[in-house]
Structure 1
Amino acid sequence: MGSNKKDKTKINWLQKSRESWNYNGSKRPPFAITPKEGQRSVWDFPRPPAIEKVCKPVIVHYKGVTIANSNEALAVLETASPPTYYIPKGDVQMAMLTSIRSKTSLCEWKGNAVYWTLKTGIDRPVAWSYPNPFPEFEVLKDHIAFYPQHLECYIDGEQVTPQSSEFYAGWITSDLVGPFKGEPGTGHW
């Protein structure tokens, strides 16, 4: 009986979280920067998020050592945030990572996340994954996403700028305009 009540509470939380956003990519808010030719506004990204295949090289380094290198990454595009990049585990040096058993979180779209750190050098999460994502995001299973705040991350040779946040981990490239969630004063989004 208790488990059934817990499941209903979780479902209610997920539904409320999914419905709480005022912006969903259908119309840019007045404060959004208008993109120039060749640029994209994160305010045009949808909610629920979309997944886009990335055919450009996506590379992650730590102090010059390659942790991941892929031409088959997936970008998750979500309203107000720069994309997060998910790299197939087969393209990640998994021997360099170890799971953080004490840290988990729940995304209202993707499910329960687990976190990863480097075996040496950094004593904080550098990546996360969804071992059992919700059905809509099943394609993210067996992929790892990395925080550009703690690593050197590149898309097609361009080093990305990290999203301004310790929680959000979007990769900002020169073809994106915001403002981006996570910047000061954006907590109400």
Structure 2
Amino acid sequence: MNDLELLKYPVGRFEMPTKISSEDVQDYIRILGNIPGELIKTVENFDNEKFDTQYRENGWTVQQVITHVVDAHSRAYVMFKRGLEENKIIIKPHNEKKLTDFGDIQNSAIQAVLQAIYSVHESWVLDLKSLSEQELNLTFFYPDAGRQMSLPEFLAIFAWHSKHHFAHIKGLKDRMGW
């Protein structure tokens, strides 16, 4: 893996597991539950200049990464809830690049965004812990994958996504000696 690839994918590219056990699902839930606190702790002493620093050349700023996570995970939480309401729903795709270019992202109060990540994940984890085996086997059409997807597969993606973007920020912090 070259340096740019390592900066883009510090935890590796996502690979869908061929089989997802109940232990894997519990691990995904644990990751979703822990990431907000780890993220908040990692950026607690950041100033505006640090939030405005790109995690890699031609990459997003720390603030854009954090705002992307809240956008993507809020959307994922709604998809998850809709998947529980109606089996085999169809989810509409979104344009994550376009969302990072909106002015409210560059100018948002970062503490509110961090609180939103914490709140979304807290609700998501509470809901996940209450699911029956049958509810975990519901599926929906996920356009980003181009196929029907089970909730455990969906959780695998967003557990990876959490670790992926956290590693962008933590890696930058470590490289910069912040």
TM-score normalised according to structure 1 size: 0.27
TM-score normalised according to structure 2 size: 0.28
Higher relative contact order (CA 8 A, sep 6+): 2
Greater fraction strand: 1
Greater fraction helix: 2
